[in-house]
Structure 1
Amino acid sequence: MMHADLIDQEDLRERLNAIGLAIPSGASAEQACAQAVSGLSPDRAVALRRVVEELLGGSATLLPAVREAVSRTLLPALVPKPK
C-alpha cells in the first residue's frame, strides 16, 4: 500500500506561519497566499521564495486548490520587477 504526501491548505498555512506570516486557521489556500504577499518585504520575499521552491520542487503532491493559489498569487508576486 502506497502513501502519498499531500500538501493541503492547512499544510500551506503552517509553512507560511513558520516563516513569520500570521495566517489564521481556516484560511483557504487562496486567502493564505493573498495574505502572504500583502506588504511583502524583501526579507520576507526571500523566505517566501524558499517555501514556494520547497512546495513545487518537493516530492509531495499539492492539492489542486493549493497549486492553483501558489501559481496565481505567490509566483507572480515573487517575480523580480524590472528596474
Structure 2
Amino acid sequence: MMHADLIDQDDLLSQLRALGFDMPAGATPDQACECAVRGLNDARAKALKGMVEKMLTGNATILPAVRQAIDKQLLPALVPFIQSRSA
C-alpha cells in the first residue's frame, strides 16, 4: 500500500494554530490564511514564512485548495516583511 504525504485543510489549520494563530473551527484554507495575515507583525511573519517555506520545499503534496490559499493570501502578505529584511 502506497502512502503519500498530503497537506490538507486540517494540516494547514493545525500548523497555523501551532504557530499561535487563532483559527476558527472548520475554517476553509482561504479563511485560515486570511486569519493568519490579520495583524501580522515581524515575529509572526517570520514564523509564517518558515512554515510556508517548509511546506513548499517539502516532499508532501499540497492539496490544490491549500496551495491556492497560500498563493493568494500568505505569499502576498509576506512580501513586505521579506522586502524590508533584505533592504
**TM-score interval, normalised by the smaller of the two chains:** over 0.9
Task: Give, in whole Å, the separation in 2 of the partners of 1:76 and 1:34.
Answer: 11
Distance in 1, matches of 2:65 and 2:44, equals: 23
Mapped pair 1:24 → 2:24 = yes
Matched letter for residue 44 of structure 1: R
Deviation at 1:25, TM superposition (A): 1.8
CA distance in 1, matches of 2:6, 2:25: 18
Supply the AA of the counterpart residue of 1:67: R
Structure 2 residue ranges without an equivalent (≥5)? none
Q: TM-score, normalised by structure 2?
A: 0.90
For the pair 1:42 / 2:42, whether they are aligned, the reply is: yes
Shift of 1:39: 0.7
SS of residue in 2 equivalent to 1:79: helix
What is the aligned-residue identity percentage? Answer: 57
Root-mean-square deviation (Å): 1.3
Runs of at least 4 residues off by over 4 Å: none
Matched residue type, 2:57? G
Aligned to 1:13: 13
Size of the aligned set, in residue pairs, is 83
Higher share in helix: 2
Q: What amino acid is the match of 2:27?
A: A
Q: Which residue of 2 aligns with 1:33?
A: 33
Which moves more between the two structures, 60-69 or 73-82?
A: 73-82
